[in-house]
Chain A
Amino acid sequence: MKNLLDILSPGEITVLRLRALYEERGYRRYHPSRFEEYRFYLENQSFLKNEQLITFNDLDGRLMALKPDVTLSIVKNVNAGGGLKKLYYIENVYRPNATGRNFTEIRQMGLECLGRVGRAEISEVVRLAYESLRLAEAPFRLALSHVRYLSGLMRSLRVPPQHRPELYENIAAKNPHGLREAAGRAGLSPEGTELLEKAAMLSGPASETLEEAGRLCRNSEMERAVEELRRAIEGLDDPSVLIDFSIRGDEDYYSGLLLCGYLQGKSRVVLSGGEYDNMMKKMGQKGGAIGFAVYLDEFCGR
């Protein structure tokens, strides 16, 4: 009989190796239900990247939806009960594709750590994101950011809340001229604009970028963000680990660290995640949470 491993495709082997990595660190596979009630997503629309869903009527008449996101279901259904839950999943999610004209099925693997999440758990998840990327056996970059760094700066500069989305949009596009124009509309002084531009455009090798980020701090919120980033990457002495404050994280969802993984030769991000205590709180769960998703079609595909 043929060796069983010989019939697996490279993508299937990668998934098994990711599973082994997560199992070894005490993460257990979670099987979420395939569908959720449509009402659930309607109530938590702000957490979804897109509000369009595939819906259908169940046999009992309830309006159901195919999952557009797994983390939401995990936060709703898993109660850490004052302890710590370490889970991973392999699921398909359904979202509109890039053209916005059709739905697409996205194969996703993810890892979530919920409940009593402390420094050690955060470092572990960052390390696992790093190890996951290494498994792809291609040059990679793991970029980190922290939502409180720029939100702290915006608070210090007294940026009116209604102007922040436009500023973040330009920051996410690394668009300095657009950022300057938006800062003008938000009523920022020339000094404030210059500081925001410097901080927002910071990106590069972790330790030197964090040093520069530390120098630009204007309040304790920013300092705490830099400190948390420093702790998160402790022991990851690798030029492939970067800091990039253009990584965007919706504050309704994310509360701290943000993670983004890239593989050379791929055209899109292959891994993303972060700390999402805000979502836990809004959904009535106690404790913190951190996790990431690996987009398997990109990660294992072409």
Chain B
Amino acid sequence: MLNIALPKGRLGEQAHELLVRAGYAEGSLSETGRKLVIEYPAAGVRYFLVKPSDVAIYVEHGAADLGIVGKDILEEDRPDVYELLDLKIGRCRMCVAAKRGFVDEGTSVLRVATKFTNIAERYYASLGREVDIIKLNGSVELAPLLGLSEVIVDIVESGKTLRDNDLAVVAEIMPVSARLIANKVVYQFKSAEIMRLRGSLEGVTNDKD
């Protein structure tokens, strides 16, 4: 039996659809109601629904064998796990955004508001730019509007939220999509099962290219 941590929400639903196509789940996630544990004994899998930012924690600590998680969270937390496959769902970009027309003159410390403090720190360190990172937990787009920061670092999907708030992308840091991850110890004991599931998922993700 493989124990798989799935992120609650839209990414989890997309991942579940992919797993249905790969033969590892049935129906739709919404049909399962508020259940947090869903089993498909015939397919040899059990899913746990957890907060997206907790998926990698469950996997790293071995509470789940596998997980599906966004690359943004993997880059931010850098858990010690295997990253086996790019599932090509939940695609978006990690970007720097600011009020339309903003230009960083580099004359003073740049204030950066973000949920992704590690990604932001590493990005600006790579540019040699001195920054003041301000950690926020949501509605990051508000920060430049209220003068809390000059720029934000956040994920951008369609760009609609930015446009609606008169913000624009200044730079792209990296593309983001969902990944299949595995616990490093479990992998050594269940590699055949894990690689079989990976192969089936790869088969249904490749037609997304």
Q: Which residues of A contact B (CB under 8 A)?
A: 98, 139, 141, 143, 173-178, 203-204, 242, 244, 246, 262-269
Contact = CB atoms under 8 A, between A and B. Distances in A.
A239 to B, nearest CB: 11
Given A139-B189, A203-B191, A242-B188, A267 B61 contact: yes
Nearest to A263: B185
Q: Which of A98, A139, A263, A267 has the most CB of B within 10 A?
A: A267
Q: SS class of chain B's interface: helix, strand, loop or mixed? A: mixed
B86 A267 contact: no
Interface residues of B, number: 18
A294 B61 CA distance: 19
B17 to A, nearest CB: 20
Q: Which of A139, A173, A268 has the most CB of B within 10 A?
A: A173
Interface string B61-89: 11000000000000000001111111000
Contacts, number: 46
B81 to A, nearest CB: 7
Interface in B177-207: 182-185, 187-189, 191
Contacts of B184: 262, 268-269
A142 B191 CA distance: 14
B141 interface: no
B188 A174 contact: no
A45 B80 CA distance: 22
A253 to B, nearest CB: 19
Nearest to B62: A267
Contact of A268 (B182, B185, B187, B189): B185
A177 B188 CA distance: 21
Given A203-B191, A204-B191, A266 B185 contact: yes
Contacts of B187: 174
B60 interface: yes
Contacts of B185: 262-264, 266-269
Contact of B82 (A98, A173, A265): A173
4 smallest beta-carbon distances between A and B, as pairs: A267-B62, A175-B83, A174-B82, A141-B188
B132 to A, nearest CB: 20
B189 A262 contact: yes
Contacts of B189: 139, 141, 262, 264
A174 B60 contact: no
B190 to A, nearest CB: 10
